Homo-oligomer: A and B are copies of this chain.
């Protein structure tokens, strides 16, 4: 933070601006002043008690507009208080992670002086975002200057301004110094060592750090597979016995990989304080609309939307739409197969170089079309899910993910399944798997990083020119930087990045026993992916707000489902292999039954394995249990006055504890962190024996 504080001395405000609010050009002065007051006002008056600087937004010199950009910063004490409100977890003196409280800030590790540098920038910006989001309307019936924009007590002001288009943009500022250092340590020196995870987290927050770690973890996990795969390719081991081995390895691999990742991410999340972090009371998402009603939980008046209506929209519109799209994608697939056969027929008529090339055309076209359809569908799904009008961002995300996953799965893999199990043409399968994989990878890289970057460049040039016209060749001042960043496109979250990895995971785990080189290709892709993603985060997109994540959420489930499907496909592929068939000369039934039997055993084994491996490493379970124990002790010593309240607090822990604990994993492995930790208490020899 220090350098952040000292960074903007040239022409900037006196405080370190952390977050930018860009209002619409034509915003009423009345509104702006009101907003400024609310933001700067004392907390007991319902303000956010933050620092604000008002600067001129884009293209002012043409049409003398009013200063419509607000730079928000904060003092250290305020940030620390905020950290407590947000429920941030920091490392305590005894090495455990605890909810930070201002009152005993001194007893937290590396808290010096006034706490300068105790929070990293991402956290500061997250806190400010939280404070702004929870800036609630008091008596105002509408936004001053906009009688139409209704407000009601307790409504988040910012959310309302966003949903009504008065607040155009809302993003955290880049910190050039930090960014330079980060991008250098991240991708400017090509190396095989791990990424600077902590720096990433400090700058972009846990959510993104977790994604990049996953990307890395996945890539490394693929290495053994790739190594095994290469000889298959080089020496063209057509021998299927080997493929059988490969497939079996494949299955174990995917299960173990996912379980290990779960443990690993739990460990990371604990170290980052997000594992134990309470999900803050989730605000309704900006898009959500409804009529004023009583919220049964908070008892407050706020817009509510009948879940029945939502259900209707989902089942009567969304579901049919998805099904239609699936039908279309299958239809396109059949067209592709027609093209295939057509190309083949031409090739056989006169086999020369050009017709040979022609053979590849169909699958390349198909790959492009697939990518295109995915893209198109992606937007449709977003619009649709938006229209379903979910109250919370989380459930919005879940429904979106579900829609997109189903379609992408069918769209990408249907043709391969068809080739494998209907046409049973392993050569074609291998051939089109390769084409699909490679084409889609190339397309991805282009769409993701280079295209946006190129557009970015052109925009920046314009801005630079303009800026130079104003103030010659002085160092780019804050205002200009703000404007540059506000022109960048917004990063829409890790969704698409995870989706890509999900599909790659599919290619590898579903069919790699037929095309062992897949793993290698994916590794190559991911190695560039790391850099292009890193680059796009640093230079293409606006800096995103950090979201504290403790796991990869729905994606864990998605990957696990995929690996379950992989078991089935791999077994089937093995069953189809001529060598295996050879073992059962006359009786096909025999063969099938054995394969099915093996498949069931493998599936069972897989589930048991996933069940046995505890999701949270023991030493962390112990730490968690320790704090739980301490808090119980604390309760015993509680004063009467606080009795009622603390009981409630405990209650939280209880519903919190009980509701999920229906997952029986708990019961069997006694994963109540407590029990387990105690179980695992080490010890020595035993004189006191029975």
Contact = CB atoms under 8 A, between A and B. Distances in A.
A518 interface: no
Contacts of A398: 667-670
A651 B100 CA distance: 11
A685 B291 contact: yes
Interface string A646-680: 11111111111111111111111111111101111
A682 B293 contact: yes
Contacts of A56: none
Contacts of A266: 662
Interface string A107-150: 00000000000000000000000000000000000000000001
Interface string A80-112: 000001010000000000111111100000000
Interface stretch (A196-204, A220-228, A496-504, A588-596): A588-596
A554 interface: yes
Interface stretch (A4-12, A300-308, A343-351, A533-541): A300-308
A425 B625 CA distance: 55
A457 interface: no
A303 B625 contact: no
A303 B664 contact: no
A293 B683 contact: yes
Contacts of A33: none
B670 A394 contact: yes
A632 B556 contact: no
A683 B667 CA distance: 38
A628 interface: yes
Contacts of A628: 651-652, 655-656
A276 B651 CA distance: 7
Interface string A269-311: 0000001111101100001011111011111000111110010
A262 interface: yes
Contacts of A353: none
Interface stretch (A356-364, A458-466, A486-494, A637-645): A637-645
A512 interface: no
Contact of A649 (B275, B390, B646, B685): B646
A99 B667 contact: no
Nearest to A305: B683
Interface string A619-638: 00110111111111011101
Contacts of A677: 296-297
B679 A307 contact: yes
A280 to B, nearest CB: 9
Q: How many copies does the complex hold?
A: 2
A683 B306 contact: yes
A473 interface: no
A666 B553 CA distance: 9
A616 interface: yes
Given A650-B278, A688-B290, A103 B670 contact: no
B653 A297 contact: no
Nearest to A85: B636
Contact of A648 (B298, B631, B662): B631
A449 to B, nearest CB: 29
A557 interface: yes
Contacts of A600: 568
Contact of A551 (B279, B291, B662, B671): B662
B643 A642 contact: no
A650 B647 contact: no
Q: Most B CB atoms within 10 A — which of A103, A395, A398, A649?
A: A649
A688 B295 contact: no
Q: Most B CB atoms within 10 A — which of A150, A277, A650?
A: A650
Interface in A310-361: 310
Nearest to A654: B276
Chain A interface size band reads: 35 or more
A672 B621 CA distance: 21
B278 A653 contact: yes
Contacts of A279: 672, 674
Nearest to A634: B645
A172 B38 CA distance: 63
Contacts of A589: 588-589, 592
Given A628-B651, A668-B554, A642 B642 contact: yes
B392 A675 contact: yes
Contacts of A616: 659, 662
A550 interface: yes
Contacts of A674: 279, 281-282, 297
Q: Most B CB atoms within 10 A — which of A402, A678, A684?
A: A678
A22 interface: no
A291 to B, nearest CB: 5
Q: Most B CB atoms within 10 A — which of A394, A627, A651?
A: A651
B291 A681 contact: no
A99 B635 CA distance: 13
A560 B667 CA distance: 14
A687 B657 CA distance: 39
A628 to B, nearest CB: 5
A690 interface: yes
Contacts of A551: 662
B675 A101 contact: no
Given A307-B682, A654-B656, A679-B391, A664 B554 contact: yes
A564 to B, nearest CB: 9
A681 to B, nearest CB: 4
Interface of A: 85, 87, 98-104, 150, 262, 266, 275-279, 281-282, 287, 289-293, 295-299, 303-307, 310, 390-392, 394-395, 398, 402, 550-551, 553-554, 556-557, 560, 568, 588-589, 592-593, 596, 600, 615-616, 621-622, 624-632, 634-636, 638-675, 677-690
**Shortest beta-carbon contacts, A-B, top 10:** A304-B683, A663-B663, A656-B657, A653-B653, A631-B648, A660-B660, A624-B655, A557-B664, A99-B647, A652-B653
Given A305-B686, A628-B656, A646-B649, 9 more contacts: A103-B644, A104-B644, A282-B674, A282-B675, A297-B622, A551-B662, A631-B649, A642-B646, A652-B653
